[in-house]
Structure 1
């Protein structure tokens, strides 16, 4: 199904009382909780600045770190595959599945696999694919996409989940969360035991030790990565650090930013298949490192900072725009402020222009980010490219009429005489517009958007400059 346009989806979300209540609760609980948590670090909130430096250092040395990681994993008996784009990443996974006669795969939550469209590709290849994170499992049963990085089913009420489980799992209707959770657990345990392949994402990778790290609060990722005989992990090429000291800092920041926790419930370090004689762990371990547009971002000094993102969702939990429209309006694996920057860069700035234009630029995302990424700066840069065009990013001017209007406005405000004439003309013309003596209810043409949800104050009978001059004249006559 083709996603609805951003303005249409956003308006529908604003009118959804269940979603509004859920988003308000999420932002109050996690957003404010993370902000308070940063203050509790022994190093203080300045640890975020250290995390930013660690991430930038990793980004600056990606080639060296990725090579070291691949060598270490190879020494541990694992296999590393580099995928330049989404199709290559999917092809690697399908080839691995066919090599091992896989008919069913269980998955831990992974935004990267959402980005590359892995699930439908595996299903098309005849491989049953089951999400095992409870939220992801719910939206998969509903045939929907996740709406939050760490809370994929935040848009679902417990009553909706009860009806869904009744229809899909064949259980009696209930809206009791523990009962619903138990039903999902029973259904998923069978899948864990039947699965030939486990698929996970990668929260962080350490070049020094050659391991990847996964975090969860349900234990599902640990089940998916140890029970099946094959484990395939997907990792964005930027999700790496140099050594364990850097890894420790980012792990703490990630846990706090994501869920206002000192540490996630389950932290797993994985660097290869099970050792000989061990019963837990897969027979084969494959890490697929995905580019899919990240190299282009890396090459741009203005935008490479966004690769510092550790996908915690903290910016979503503070953003007033996300807090009203939710994740589905973004029609992307990545939503909120980071999605408004990343998605245009990965899929096309013109194609995803509504995302960066829809953000409020309030700046709340930056102090919320555990690694202090300056998302407002990059949102403004994207807007500038849409306004002026940019051949290096294949950006065309979004609106020639808007460009002409602002060019004319720039001329007006730099020419006092012309500006005064414009104000006099506007003061006369506004009498034709509907409203009250003090407010305009509706502007014509392109200006209708400004008055769609609010009235506009009419121009005063005398401008500030006129009043200032008159006041000076009055005082000089005394």
Structure 2
């Protein structure tokens, strides 16, 4: 943050044109620029819509996926002071016309970085809009903000991850725009910035290096495939997570980056642990396993509530003692009777009420499966005994 602000102050910047950058969202760059009187304009269409709505992204790849055409038209009407038809072409044309002046007038262009190539010092930008190239070539100063995990060793490695990113993110063989930039404008170049600054961000990432459980989370290429298949994310949306990174990757990454298990650690519980994220992940990050380890870490730090700790301690004690287990299962039948209606538990006291508000629980049977299985084994043993003669020969059955 300080590095970027020093660059902006040195150039007396008043306007920053931004390409899509989740890292800038992570460090709340726009807010800090606004405090210093510097206007930051999002030029990615989805990000621009959210900036007008004063909202944060709800998806890593499609930030405004929660907005429909009518809602976007209303935002543009408020911005322009005239009505708009809720048609994609009309809305895109207005955004194109409005943003073009910002490209030309910006003192600094800021972008994220999909991948950095160590062998050449190049940065790679991939997008399906042309704003990335406008931001990185028209302003005199181009600043790149990238997470430290975005580095790949060689161009051969870049080819692999570019193919995985496009296919996993949008199903394309290659994105519409793939820009590889190496240094600022050189003598003889027709366009490009006079200065190029690359800011590599740690912000808690290096804490995961060497960790046998969580280091693999740094392999994420931000394709959002895990979000697209997650049964929880698809129902609650990204804003429910309350963080920049949503979905399964956000539930793991956020508490690790923030080093805050007290608040961010609750995200680890927003999962069914179905493993769909692992199946969809192109780099096979075991997010479902990491979520379990985060839950364990929170318990070890004693950050769970006292009633929860008592409940699970009792659960462990009961399941660790066969006598207590049998006593609990037999007494549960009688304990439920005041709540049973028509063979079902349709309502109950907290915390049971949280379940029964939208569904019912089946009534526990009077005889458990274990009891019935033991009786069945006895019956089978008795039949074998009755069917055998004293000398070991089988008795003749009477017809």
Q: State the TM-score bracket (shorter-chain normalisation).
A: over 0.9
**Cα deviation 1:143-184 (Å, max 9, x = unaligned):** 111111111111111001111101112342210110110000
Match of 1:353 in 2: 265
Could you say which residue in structure 2 is the equivalent of 1:427? 333
User: What is aligned with 2:151?
Assistant: 240
SS of the residue corresponding to residue 238 of structure 1 reads helix
Partner residue of 1:369 out of 281, 292, 306: 281
Alignment: residue pair count: 382
1:386 to 298, 304, 312: 298
Q: Distance in 2 between matches of 1:133 and 1:233?
A: 15
Partner of 1:448: 353
Match of 2:177 in 1: 266
- How many Å separate the matches in 2 of 1:188 and 1:294? 34
Taking structure 1 as the reference length, the TM-score comes to 0.78
The answer to whether the aligner puts 1:438 opposite 2:343 as a matched pair is yes
- The residue aligned with 2:397 is none
1:398 aligns with 2:304: yes
Counterpart contact for 2:330–2:366, Cα < 8 Å: no
Whole-Å separation in 2 of the counterparts to 1:476 and 1:374: 47
For 2:200 and 2:105, the matched residues in 1 are separated by 27
Other-structure match for 2:241: 330
Q: Secondary structure at the match of 1:252?
A: helix
Deviations 1:112-137 (A, max 9, x none): 00000001111111111100000000
> What are the superposed Cα offsets for residues 421-449 of structure 1, whole Å, 9 maximum, x if unpaired?
2222211111112x423211223233333
Q: Which range moves more in the overlay, 453-462 or 238-247?
A: 453-462
Show the 5 A alignment for 1:176-187: 176-187=87-98
1:344 aligns with 2:249: no
Q: Give the match for residue 377 of structure 2.
A: 472
Shift of 1:332: 0.9
Kindly report which structure 2 residues correspond to 1:68-217, keeping only aligned pairs within 5 A, or say none.
90-217=1-128
What is the CA deviation profile of residues 378-406 of structure 1, one whole-angstrom value per residue up to 9, with x for unaligned ones? 011111112232xxxxxx33123222222
What's the CA shift for 1:101?
Answer: 1.8
Aligned to 1:229: 140
Q: Secondary structure of the residue that 2:351 maps to in structure 1?
A: helix
Structure number with greater Rg is: 2
- Cα deviation per residue 1:37-93 (whole Å; 9 max; x = unaligned)? xxxxxxxxxxxxxxxxxxxxxxxxxxxxxxxxxxxxxxxxxxxxxxxxxxxxx2111
Deviation string 1:286-341 (CA, Å, 9 cap, x unpaired) is 01101111111224221010000011111111111111111111111100000000
The one of the two structures with greater contact order (alpha-carbon pairs below 8 A, sep at least 6) is 1
The answer to whether the Cα contact below 8 Å between 1:385 and 1:397 also exists between their aligned partners in 2 is no
Give SS of 1:316's match.
helix
Q: How many angstroms does 1:207 deviate by?
A: 0.4
1:211 is displaced (CA, Å) by 0.4
Equivalent pair of 2:84/2:90 in contact (CA under 8 Å) = no
1:250 is matched with which residue?
A: 161
Deviates more, 1:234-243 or 1:291-300: 291-300
Counterpart of 2:321 in structure 1 is: 415
- The one of 434, 443, 459 equivalent to 2:364 is 459
State the alpha-carbon separation in 1 of the partners of residues 306 and 182 from structure 2: 53
Cα distance in 1 between the residues matched to 2:208 and 2:348? 40
Q: Please report how far the alpha carbon of residue 370 of structure 1 lies from its aligned counterpart in structure 2 after TM superposition.
A: 1.6
* Structure 1 CA distance for aligned equivalents of residues 122 and 81 of structure 2: 40
Equivalent residues of 1:387, 1:399 under 8 A apart: no
Shift in Å at residue 280 of structure 1?
Answer: 0.6
**C-alpha contact (below 8 Å) 1:107/1:129 kept by paired residues:** yes
Output the CA distance in 2 between the equivalents of 1:469 and 1:177.
67
Give 2:396's aligned residue.
none
Q: Secondary structure, in 3 states, of the residue corresponding to 1:311?
A: coil
Query: Quick one: distance in 1 between partners of 2:73 and 2:352?
Result: 45
Kept in 2, the 8 Å contact 1:94–1:125? The answer is: no
TM-score normalised over the length of structure 2:
0.93
Mapped partners of 1:273, 1:416: distance in 2: 72
CA distance in structure 2 between the partners assigned to 1:266 and 1:343 by the alignment: 29
